[in-house]
Chain A
Amino acid sequence: MPHTVLVVEDEPHIVDSLSFLMKKAGFEVFIARDGDAALRMVESRPPDLMLLDIMLPRRDGFEVLKTVRSNQAWRDMRIILLTAKGRDVDRLKGMELGADDFVTKPFSTKDVVRLVRQHLGVEEKSA
């Protein structure tokens, strides 16, 4: 069974590129375009890892993070935040709320794939 990755991002092109990369790396990919949809998807099928943008419509990334981390059933889910350059406070807040890691926009796709593999304990080319 491939690892599952939930991409939570409202910008369609970023969703497109991340989803391409994750699939290419061998992961099964789900997409949520806002915070409410992300939580619904987590409820119905918790992913192994979530790539979570902070600035989301309806319910922002912090709210999603808080909700996920408050549920013991999802404690093993890895969460990597997509933060914006110059917004150190977002990164600090996210890590405080229980994120496992972060990448800063504009990020390198290689870094994202490497980080996802690292958190899921997957060797390159064996995913």
Chain B
Amino acid sequence: MARQIFAGRKIRHLRGQIGLTQIAMATQLGISAAYLNLVEHNQRPLSRKLQKRLEDAFNIKEGELSGGEEARLLSALNELFSDPLFDKAKPDSSALGDFVAVHPEISRALLKLYRAFRNAREDTLKAREVLSADPYFTDTSHKLLTQLTSIRSFAEILQDNDDLSEHQRDRFTTVLVDESQKLTLMVGELFDFINGESNQSAALSETPTDEVVDMLSANDHYFPTLEQAANQLRERLGDPKPYGLFDALAGYLDRQLGIKVEVVSVTTHSSLKRGMWELEGEDGGVLRLMETLSVSSLNFRMARIIAEVAYADILDNTLSEVNVSGEEAKVLCLKALGSYFAGALMMPYSPFREAALELRHDIDLLRRRFRVGFEQVCHRLTTLQKPEEEGVPFHFIRVDLAGQISKRFSASGLRIPRYGVLSPDWGVQDAFLKPGRVNLHSLRAEDQSVYFSISKTVTKPGTMVGQAGNTFAVSLGCEVSFARHVVYADGLDFAHPDSVLLGG
């Protein structure tokens, strides 16, 4: 059944615009003035016949009088005015109805303006969310508050204490000047960052971790000098078998570097200075490692200490050749290079690459062969980028239960988000639903490339008796054209990926 149309306001407004009396318009339409009056006051619905006559006589677009568009506009404007923005300024519904009927064009413009405002507001909220989660801003706000506190404290001390000695006064004044200068620099950097004006802002827009990740990417995740150094050390150690590596590394630390290795009990050492380990003494000393660490983690830590102590010049040279600007980023970069060295030592390039291809990247078989951890294997696989002897280009992601990314490397070309949490669409968090099991996932990226990945949970041990460890999900993936080299991809249909990433 056709709905009844009441278009009184519109007809009245039209008549006013044309400058006709009710009688004159009624005459033109062939109806009585009394009937037109009833229609104009919505006492009678607009019949199809009268609607057609009005459209023909006054050149009105078909459907304009029927109110479909009017009803849609009214509904949209009602929604607009229900926005908290208008709070007490919402017009009553009758006035709004009159306005829409009389000024449809202005109503449309108003809606367009509101949509633009709503989009801008959402963008602002998103940006705020990103900034509040950005380690650069968190760190900067902490530093700003700390410096302000120092300045305020010393300014008040100088003001309130007449009896300060000359030395004290000089010292406090120096602190004030120094801290004010630091604060000025920091505020300057912050403005540069916000305005995006300086060259430095590009670096500032990244966290130190981002800088290191970008540096690794710029070097294709492969460092020949560190590979050579690790191979040289292996030779000096007599090319130990994986199960003999612990003794070889502990022996080297003791004999060559004067560092005794102690694996300590969790009951006698509730915490070590660096959590799971500590190095005491500057020249030589003792390296204490928590017994809860796996053998592969013990080996990794020893290898990294060797890199930092015995191969410091190679790490420094490598650092000087890469593009890392911030001091904090340089420290992180040295750690990353030390870790790279450790990985290269435990999983030497050529034998590891050959094994990876032979075992078709079966991570569990690889970790058994090299006596290393699941995450270590995944990480090392991303570094097999030696020219002419490349491995499969993989990406690697590590996230916590909330989806926060703590590690990301992409040699596969997949763009991994820098900010916020990883969308569940990536499938990485699925690993938490089946702890310890390998999960398979395929996804289509924005550029239509299809990637295949596996994910699995890994748990870092606690440092105290009864303390649960931290569990992460790690994911290793590659573009589907390489999937034939990966045993987990056998029999999968990549024509229909599990998920499609929208907006990166």
Contact = CB atoms under 8 A, between A and B. Distances in A.
A110 B155 CA distance: 12
Interface string A61-105: 000000000000000000000001110000000000000000001
Max chain A Cβ within 10 angstroms of own Cβ: one of B146, B157, B160: B146
B146 A11 contact: yes
A14 B156 contact: no
Contacts of B161: 24
Contacts of B157: 17, 20-21, 109
A107 B146 CA distance: 10
B175 interface: yes
Contacts of A11: 146, 149-150
B149 A105 contact: yes
Contacts of A105: 145-146, 148-149
A9 to B, nearest CB: 9
B149 A14 contact: yes
A13 B271 contact: no
Given A11-B146, A85-B145, A106-B148, A17 B153 contact: yes
Interface in A17-59: 17-18, 20-21, 24, 36, 55, 58-59
A106 B150 CA distance: 8
A16 interface: yes
Contacts of B271: 36, 59
Contact of B145 (A17, A20, A36, A106): A106
A58 B153 CA distance: 26
B334 to A, nearest CB: 19
Nearest to B275: A58
Nearest to A55: B142
B175 A106 contact: no
A126 interface: no
Given A36-B271, A109-B157, A110-B160, A14 B141 contact: no
A109 B152 contact: yes
B223 interface: no
A108 B156 contact: yes
A11 B151 CA distance: 12
B388 to A, nearest CB: 45
Interface in B359-406: none
A59 B149 CA distance: 22
A109 B153 contact: yes
B49 interface: no
Interface in B150-186: 150-154, 156-157, 160-161, 168, 175, 179
B273 interface: yes
Contacts of A21: 153, 157
A21 B164 CA distance: 12
Nearest to A11: B146
B153 A14 contact: yes
A123 B210 CA distance: 53
Contacts of B273: 36, 58
Contact of B150 (A14, A36, A58, A84): A14
Contacts of A110: 156, 160
B470 to A, nearest CB: 16
Contact of B149 (A24, A55, A106): A106
B175 A13 contact: yes
Given A58-B273, A86-B141, A107 B152 contact: yes
A108 B150 contact: no
A87 to B, nearest CB: 9
A86 B145 CA distance: 10
Contacts of B146: 11, 14, 105
Contacts of A85: 145
Contacts of B160: 109-110
Contacts of A106: 145, 148-149, 151-152
Contacts of B168: 20
Contacts of A24: 161
B465 to A, nearest CB: 16
A110 to B, nearest CB: 7
B402 to A, nearest CB: 16
A86 B168 CA distance: 33
17 contacts: A13-B154, A13-B175, A14-B146, A14-B149, A17-B150, A20-B157, A21-B157, A58-B273, A84-B145, A105-B149, A106-B145, A106-B148, A106-B149, A106-B151, A107-B153, A108-B156, A109-B160
Interface of A: 11, 13-14, 16-18, 20-21, 24, 36, 55, 58-59, 84-86, 105-110
Interface of B: 141-142, 145-146, 148-154, 156-157, 160-161, 168, 175, 179, 271, 273
The 4 closest A-B pairs by CB, nearest first: A17-B153, A13-B150, A106-B148, A106-B149
Given A14-B153, A106-B152, A107-B153, 13 more contacts: A13-B150, A14-B146, A14-B149, A14-B150, A17-B153, A17-B154, A17-B157, A84-B142, A84-B145, A85-B145, A105-B146, A108-B156, A109-B152
